[in-house]
Structure 1
Amino acid sequence: MPQPSKLVILDRDGVINQDSDDYVKSLDEFLPYPAAISAIARLNRAGWTVAIATNQSGIARGYYSESMLESMHHRLRELVRQAGGEIAHIAYCPHGPDDGCDCRKPLTGLLEQIRQALDLETLAGSWMVGDSLRDLQAGEPMGCRPVLVRTGKGRRTEAKGEGLARAMVFDDLAAFVAWLLEAEGRDAAD
């Protein structure tokens, strides 16, 4: 069973792959950042578990199907595997903003799905990495440590400045992972 303090939960669009205001609707539009794929594998090699929590309201809006989403996630898993890593679990919300679900971030349903799928008692001490305030807000009640990346919508989120007092901010996922593994090395050496 993974330790929650060795868990990193990632938003998908804007953190792992390029985001689009028109939604990422197809494999052609699903463009992972090579540095993010390498960063996930690097986390795994250092003993960290990586999971994904992603809102995918494009399904409810009819822009793409759940099978297309599964194809994107299959490609993502393959790319991470080829880099020497693994994604432990992908939780997604297929609902629209007005559907009344409990999983659409900033609600905590997706993180609860991850907690259950990984058989954890708590997510306290885990890291929640996103490019929007709603990503960080989803992790807060679960005890996750918030990280904002400037990729995707991150620069816009940072410019607004609201709700980021506790968040650490990095240029991208690779920069966060480099910091985390260096900090972990310092802690082990102390």
Structure 2
Amino acid sequence: REPYSVITDQSPPTIQAQCAQCKQATELRTCLHCDKALCADCRTKHHLSQKKEVDESLRKSMTTVNDLINLGQALNISRNTRIETYKVMKTKVSTHSQDLIHSIQEEEQRYQKQIDEHIQSETSKIPITEQEVQHLQKHKAAISQVTDTYEHENNQMILTKMHKDYMNMTPVWTAKIESEAGRLNPKREEV
């Protein structure tokens, strides 16, 4: 109301002149809207026209503001709904991740146990295989000795007797070698 406090029913002062609107000579006042000198009737019509325009503008502004307020409130309601949904999702993700971690830890323990069992099994086989290799080394030494003796013997009678003894011993040696070969079978090592 402050900028309008100097305006009264008697201001601006009247003048005698021709109305800018209806052209009638009478008492006129200058319109504070359009700065034209208007008679009382033309000022009233002009005022009503301006009032209608201002009222419409204010109504549109109020409608726009109310629509924006409603939109803002609706947006915040939607945001709050999404926030609650996100909180539920966050809880579910946390729970699911804990379940996954627990499941992974159980799998890890299961695999670690299996690996430990394989290590123990492989470790227990090493001394047995070393023992088999020692037996095979003895067989190799015996075969080398027989071969060396057989190759360096010139007496045919001795060679014939050696041949007979060797042929009698061959099934025993072969059985022992095949038995040890069975225990050293790489196919049995497949995991």
Q: TM-score range by the shorter chain?
A: under 0.3
Higher normalized strand content (fraction of residues): 1
Q: TM-score, normalised by structure 1?
A: 0.16
Q: TM-score, normalised by structure 2?
A: 0.16
Higher normalized helix content (fraction of residues): 2
Larger Rg over CA atoms: 2
Bigger relative contact order (CA 8 A; separation at least 6): 1
